[in-house]
Amino acid sequence: MGNRWVREIKKLADGERQDLGAGLPPIPSLEVVYLTDPEALAAVLPPPLTPPAEPRVHVRITDIDLTFGEYRHKELVGFLAVDAVYDGFTGEYPLLIPIDLESAISVSRERNGEPKKLADIELIRAGDHVEGRITRNGVTFVEIVGDVAGPLPVGEPYPAAQWWYKFMPAVSGSGFDGDPLLVRYDQVRTPVTAESVEGKLVLRDEPTAPIVDLPVRETASIAWTTRSSKGKASVVGPVDPVAFEPFAYSRYDH
């Protein structure tokens, strides 16, 4: 019997980065973009991120249901993010990535710095009626309900970026073991279908996912989309650990 505690490590070539999402089929999502209070958005951005020109918040629920031969991979993923700027480029800074697959949480946090937390998630489409919900600790803090109103233009593939923070809380209980790192995730998103939705987004208070603190001032869009994407993550560099520490707790709390 082999030693299952030890695995052979596959080395990447110099300059090679793992491509996330390559080869996957288009995936359906229910997506809301809304404008919030500019000061509230600015307050949630760790340095060196700065506020964008428009205070946009992104709320998405995605159904990943894939079959590889006899193996089926199924997970529902949420995405709560704000627009943020670094080095002149506007990307999405996720405050929380809820997911219903526990095995995906630690590897995403430790390798990439993605703020994933376990949640109960629903995404339903029955004809033209759509519903999406994200629940933690018994509170459905995100609820999207509506009806598909019609098709939207399907654009060309486009670049997008996310900002993640990779860090390890210190054994001492204060600060970090090693400097926190800013990670940039560059994507190419390829839309396949897009439909407008007439509906509403409801936010409720849940202390470990306080999206309600970014109030809806104006709903910019609600859409049902399918698209594929691929991307690669890279380390931008270390960030000030003292300035970042107040922002770290909410990304690891339960």
Least confident range from 4-18, 114-128, 129-143: namely 4-18
Helical (H) or strand (E) element with 40? helix 38-43
Res 31 pLDDT > 80:
yes
Res 167 pLDDT > 80:
yes
Q: CB of 117 within 8 A of CB of 193?
A: no
Q: Which residues pair with 51 in a beta bridge?
A: none
**Average pLDDT of span 62-72:** 81
Residue 211, token pair as written in the block: 């999206």
Q: Which residue has the higher pLDDT, 67 or 206?
A: 206
Do the strands 71-86 and 89-99 form a parallel or antiparallel pair, or are they unpaired? antiparallel
Res 211 pLDDT > 90:
yes
Q: What is the pLDDT of residue 153?
A: 96
Q: What is the pLDDT of residue 20?
A: 62
Q: What is the mean pLDDT of the chain?
A: 92
Pick the CATH number of 19-252 from 3.40.640.10, 3.30.230.10, 3.40.50.1820, 2.40.400.10: 2.40.400.10
Q: How far apart are CA 188 and CA 191, in angstroms?
A: 10
Q: How far apart are CA 118 and CA 97, in angstroms?
A: 9
Q: What is the pLDDT of residue 14?
A: 60
Least confident range from 65-69, 153-157, 221-225: namely 65-69
- In the block, tokens 């030890």 appear at 6
| Surface-to-core class of residue 205, CB atoms within 10 Å of its CB (0-12 exposed, 13-18 middle, 19+ buried) | exposed
Q: How far apart are CA 32 and CA 49, in angstroms?
A: 23
Helical (H) or strand (E) element with 244? helix 241-252
- What pLDDT band is residue 69 in, cutting at 50, 70 and 90? confident
Res 1 pLDDT > 90:
no
Q: CB of 232 within 8 A of CB of 18?
A: yes
Quick: pLDDT tens for 11-27: 766 655 556 655 678 99
